[in-house]
Amino acid sequence: MEITPGTAYGFFTDTSVCIGCKACEVACKSWNLLEGNPPAFGDGYDNTGRLDAQNWRAVQFHDNVPDNPAVTGQGKAWLMMSDVCKHCQHASCMEVCPTNAIIRTEFDSVFIQPDVCNGCRNCISACPYGVIEQDEHSRVAQKCTLCYDRLQGGMEPACAKACPTQSIQFGPLDELRERASRRLDTLHAQGVPQAQLYGHDDSVYGGLNAFFLLMDEPEKYRLPDAANAVLPSRHNKRGYLTTLATAALAVLGGLIALRRRRARDDDS
């Protein structure tokens, strides 16, 4: 695939064919020189936990195996999803970043410039997907770069390259959206009505450059639904108006206090 600056690229992650092998995590860590995770054994197979400064890909495991073994899972017994930064068109992190360290690249991805970021962590409080974390070594915010350096070299991102089931597909967004639409039609025709796309259109943050085919409701994968996918700036107007109204009342009260007082200081 020829990768051309000026074209919008992204990921289409088809969770219906994810087998939870974590090859994407390993490839990501290997290419981006991210620390490995120490062995951890919890209640399930998910020993990565969530995306953070050192995990730019994280495979979620959701155990829905029914108690009654006679019932089929209908494609939902195990939900697995390789989570990643969504590279939102209307990115909450970009919106609040005071240093302009977070930029949109020539490949339409969202990139944190490590030498510009000063570690204020405003982006962390804004990202609705919990993608960004401050790295304990570099002390700046870190997340998936969509392998910006690989794209500049004409190579696809490491995770998509390594995925053995084509669950993670990389390419121009227009192509990916067509492919996702066809895949959704196929699943629906096969009797999997719960399959749905997330972030393929502008209903969520103006569209996600990394969008998903899900096998359950978005919130099961820790993704806010369209009603809850809101930008931080929604509170700017009401927040400042409340402050202004309080300021007006405070000044008014202060003026009344000055005008109507008849202080009798019996302090002495």
Phi-psi map region of 151: left, alpha, beta (phi>0 left; psi -120 to 50 alpha): alpha
Nearer to another protein by Cβ, of 2 and 266: the residue is 266
Return the bridge partners of 168, or none: 13
Nearer to another protein by Cβ, of 166 and 233: the residue is 233
Q: Is 100 in the site for another protein (CB under 8 A)?
A: yes
Sign of CA dihedral 33, 7, 129, 113: positive
Q: Is 46 in the site for another protein (CB under 8 A)?
A: no
Q: Which of 197, 199, 159, 164 is nearest to 180 (CA)?
A: 197
Q: What is the footprint of another protein within residues 20-39 (CB under 8 A)? A: none
Burial 246-268 (b: 16+ CB within 10 A, else e): eeeeeeeeeeeeeeeeeeeeeee
Number of residues in contact with another protein under rule CB under 8 A: 72
Cα distance between residue 130 and residue 111, in whole Å: 16
Q: Is 149 in the site for another protein (CB under 8 A)?
A: no
Nearer to another protein by Cβ, of 17 and 120: the residue is 120
DSSP string, 67-132: SSTTS--TT-SEEEEEEE---BSS-HHHHH-TT--EEE-TTS-EEE-TTT-----HHHHH-TT---
* Smallest gap from residue 233 Cβ to another protein (A): 5
Q: What is the footprint of another protein within residues 106-135 (CB under 8 A)? A: 113, 115-122, 124-134
Q: Which of 112, 160, 180, 223 binds another protein (CB under 8 A)?
A: 223
Q: Is 71 in the site for another protein (CB under 8 A)?
A: no
Q: Is 165 in the site for another protein (CB under 8 A)?
A: no
Q: At 48, which amino acid appears?
A: T
| Stretch near another protein under the rule CB under 8 A, chosen from 56-64, 152-160, 192-200, 236-244 | 236-244
* Smallest gap from residue 171 Cβ to another protein (A): 27
Q: Is 249 in the site for another protein (CB under 8 A)?
A: yes
Nearer to another protein by Cβ, of 27 and 80: the residue is 80
Q: Which of 14, 52, 108, 156 binds another protein (CB under 8 A)?
A: 52
Cα distance between residue 59 and residue 213, in whole Å: 14
Q: Which of 54, 92, 167, 169 binds another protein (CB under 8 A)?
A: 92
Nearer to another protein by Cβ, of 189 and 263: the residue is 263
Site string for another protein, 178-217 (x = CB under 8 A): ----------------------------------------
Nearer to another protein by Cβ, of 123 and 168: the residue is 123
Task: Check if the beta carbon of residue 160 is closer than 8 Å to that of residue 12.
Answer: no
Q: Which of 135, 131, 39 is nearest to 94 (CA)?
A: 131
Q: Is 97 in the site for another protein (CB under 8 A)?
A: yes
Tokens 């000063």 — which residue?
118
Nearer to another protein by Cβ, of 139 and 182: the residue is 139
